[in-house]
Amino acid sequence: MRDIASLEELKSLAGQEVAVGEWIEITQDQVNRFADATGDHQWIHVDVERAARELPVGGTVAHGFLTLALLPRILGGAISLGADVKMLLNYGLDRVRFPAPLPVGRRVRGIIVLASVDDIPGGAQLVWEITVECEGLEKPVCVAQFLVRRY
């Protein structure tokens, strides 16, 4: 866990890699629950036998949006933003891509770069560039700019 104690320290880190997240295993149960929550029951995600026969990865793959939904967990598990923070808000996303499928049963982690810190009324807007890599794959499974407002 990287502790960033102040806004001034955050600003000094702009443009740098600031943390690498812990590994998170992606399970079929997790994928099935995400499918239930979103209504996306496409066979590539939930039909284990068919996916084993027909997909090049040899099994089911996680939803891209499940991978994207892990960004707050990845960020929160890798970085602490100090005791003076009253509130953090997920403000949005920019430039989201899923360059490679995420095979179920693999582990992922995030490489976290603080792209920018901009002052806003009452706080700061942080742009985190997060590359989600999958153990054993060359290409990342998600690359996104995650906008967070710090108050």
Domain ranges of the chain: 2-26+61-150
Q: 88 forms bridges with which residues in the sheet?
A: 150
Return the pLDDT at 84. Answer: 87
Return the pLDDT at 82. Answer: 84
Give the residue among 48, 119, 110, 42 at the shortest CA–CA distance from 76. 110
pLDDT < 70: residue spans in the chain: none
Helix (H, G, I), strand (E, B) or coil at 98: coil
Return the pLDDT at 131. Answer: 98
List the helix and strand counts (H, then E) for the chain: 6, 8
Instruction: Give the whole-angstrom CA distance, residue 111 versus residue 68.
Output: 14
Instruction: Give the whole-angstrom CA distance, residue 31 versus residue 93.
Output: 22
Per CATH, which fold does 2-26+61-150 belong to?
Thiol Ester Dehydrase; Chain A (3.10.129)
Return the pLDDT at 100. Answer: 98
